[in-house]
Amino acid sequence: MHAASDLRVKVIPFHHDVVKGHRGGLWTLMAAVGLVLALACANVALLMLGRALGRDRELLVRVAVGASRGRIVRLVFAESLVVAAAGGLAGVALARISLFVINARALSTVPRLEATTIDPTVLLFALGASAFSALAFGVVPALRSARVDLAESMRAAAVGSGPPNRGQVREVIIVTQIALGLVLVVGAGLVVQSFRALAEAHPGFDPAQTVTMRVATPRTDLKVLTAFHDELLDRLRSLPGVVAAGAISQLPLTGQGPLQPYAFDAETARNWEQLSADNFGVTPGYFAAIRATMVAGRDFTPDDVHNRRRVIVIDDSLARRAFGGSAPAVGRRLQLEPEGTEESFFEVVGVVGHMRYHDLRRAMLPQIYQPGVYANFSVAVRTGGDPAQAGEAARRAIEALRPGTAVQNVRLLSDIVDEALGPMRLAVWLMTGFGVIALTLAAVGIYGVFSYFVGERTREIAVRLALGATPSDIRGLVVHRGMRLLALGLGIGLAGAIAVSSAATSLLYEVGASDVPTYLLAIVCLAGVAIAACWLPARRASRLDPQLGLRQA
């Protein structure tokens, strides 16, 4: 029989450790990219199909004078390929510019973002998408034109009619555009609302006027190290303008520290390691330096550190779970070692408010603070004056205290919090950009469809005007059709937006997936764009000269 080891190993895939909590957000952004691509494809489909269908008469004349079907297909494919290639190259160039801007604005907010490039796989995908667009939206209509009955098609072209399903295809595409546009605009609105709420959230401490730095000293015995801490903190507190100063093993929002198993009754002691908390070593004055809320009890004292007293401070979430509240927790004991001996128990002398050390969006593990000193630690200095000057003075004081002491990462605590907001800020930039692109593409698509609709029905509109229809009647004809498609698209998009938002809750904070004001604003924005895109062709149609329209038709 071998004695049980205290060593515990948890195997985590390296990729999972790198992306950590960003996985859900990145997949959500990937879905948004897919929706933008679908919108762009819908616009390409509208433009290419409209162009191809508008060339029916030209293609029929080519067939009539002897052009073969293969020649017609090659002609249209070559033209479509040139347009698709130009669009693909422009898209790659725009992607490179966008990637440069993102890296310049948010280099350290998303893991390995600086290593992101437009690799051969992305280039092949762009080329493939361009070639598919040329093939699907250019050649397919050409094949249809080359296979129709020549005599019947010439008679239909002479009277200005066309295939009966021509309008249905365009309507399906425009409804799809509206639906996808609403999903993107709603997503952008929810992410923006979440960022606003997150920026105003209280992390459990006050980062203002606090400068931090990482300190590494040569390893030495505990007595010498304790004396060094005492003298260092005394010097920092004596600096002009310094209100409070303290040290901690790991600053908030700077990485994962060690975990501490704990137990508070017989059942949790039997199931050791079932409960764990974040564990930090702190010195007296740290809680005052970051203005943590002392809910009950007291802070550590120098006597706690010098005599290595078995006392701890816990956060209020652990106090509620273990002892039913903050005040009853003071004076109680918590087991921090598995043996269950008297030395395994630590007395709770204080309770602080829970601080969001790892994720600003949600509370995670409870927290246990122990009085202690380390060779590598972080210092927090609160000042009533200029934090930059206080940081420089603190750095010089630390370096002068002991030769060989390294002082790194001198920065404001508010900058650390701002950096933690980086992933959400990046998501706001991207989703807002996607929303603007969605509105633009929807406007272009709707305008193109109804412009083509007006041009296709020039003869009918001219006849209506000649027979006494008023300009308002003509505008109503066009706008009514547009509003029917708008209502259908908004209905489908609303269902899609609710489904997508519910699946993307990892990007949201203090905002429900079905936030009514955001949905209403998105619907109003998209409806306004659609109405404007319908109104302009309708206005042009209402001003048509009947005689000129009949001659042009």
For the chain (length 553 residues), average pLDDT per consecutive 10? 52 62 64 73 67 62 70 74 76 78 62 69 75 68 58 51 57 81 84 81 87 83 82 89 90 83 88 88 92 91 88 92 84 88 90 88 86 83 88 86 80 87 78 82 77 70 74 77 85 86 72 83 87 80 64 53
pLDDT value at position 1? 40
Answer yes or no: are the C-beta atoms of 127 and 91 closer than 8 Å.
Answer: no
At 277 the three-state DSSP class reads: strand
- Strands 367-371 and 276-282 turn out to be parallel
Answer yes or no: are the C-beta atoms of 263 and 272 closer than 8 Å.
Answer: yes
Q: Kindly state the helix (H) or strand (E) to which residue 376 belongs, with its residue range.
A: strand 376-383
Angle 166-200/422-456 helices, nearest 10 degrees? Answer: 160
Q: How big is the chain by its Cα radius of gyration, in Å?
A: 34
* Predicted model pTM: 0.71
Burial class (CB in 10 A: 0-12, 13-18, 19+), 492: middle
pLDDT value at position 153? 52
Apex CA 476: angle with CA 474 and CA 479, to 5°? 110
Partners of 277 in beta bridges? 260
Report d(CA 42, CA 50) in Å as an integer. 12
pLDDT value at position 147? 59
What DSSP designation does 139 have?
I
At 236 the three-state DSSP class reads: helix
Answer yes or no: are the C-beta atoms of 200 and 391 closer than 8 Å.
Answer: no
Unique residue bearing structure tokens 């071998």: 2
Answer yes or no: are the C-beta atoms of 272 and 261 closer than 8 Å.
Answer: yes
106 is written with which tokens? Answer: 């948010």
pLDDT value at position 287? 93
Beta-carbon contacts of 104 under 8 Å, excluding residues fewer than 6 positions away, are none
Report d(CA 93, CA 272) in Å as an integer. 57
